[in-house]
Amino acid sequence: MTNYTSLFSILSICLLFSMSSCDYRNKTSDNPVTFDTVQVDKSYYFNDDQTRPGCNFRIRFIYPDSYASTDTLSLNRIQLVFTEKTLGSVFKGKEPEEALNEFITLYLNDFNQFVSSIKNDNEENESLYEDETGYSYYVHLKNSVLYNKNGLISFVVETVSFEGGAHNSKSIYGYVYDLNKKDFLKEEDFSENNYNKNVSLLLAEKIAEQNGVRNPTELEHIGFNHIEDIKPNNNFTLDDNGITYYFNENEIAGTMIGLVQIHIPYDELDLYLQQNSVISPLIAH
Q: How many CB atoms lie within 10 A of CB 157?
A: 20
Query: Residues 85, 91, 95, 100: what is their CA dihedral angle, to the nearest 10 degrees?
Result: -80
Whole-model pTM: value is 0.84
pLDDT (tens place) for every residue of the chain, 285 residues total = 444 444 444 344 344 434 444 443 334 458 999 999 999 998 888 777 777 778 899 999 999 999 987 676 789 899 999 999 999 999 988 888 899 999 999 988 888 887 777 666 555 444 444 444 445 688 999 999 999 999 999 999 999 998 766 678 999 999 999 999 999 999 999 999 899 999 999 999 999 999 999 999 999 999 999 899 999 999 999 999 999 999 999 999 988 899 999 999 999 999 999 999 999 999 865
Q: Are 100 and 40 in contact (CB under 8 A)?
A: yes
DSSP secondary structure string for all residues of 28-65: T--SSEEEEEEEEEEEEEGGG-TTS-EEEEEEEEEEEE
d(CA 119, CA 122): 5
Q: Are 118 and 135 in contact (CB under 8 A)?
A: yes
Angle at 32 between CA 28 and CA 37, to 5 degrees: 75
Residue ranges of domains in the chain, CATH in brackets: 4-184 (3.30.565.40), 187-282 (3.90.640.20)
d(CA 123, CA 113): 15
The neighbouring-strand residues paired with 43 are: 56
Strands 242-247 and 236-238: antiparallel
d(CA 141, CA 158): 6
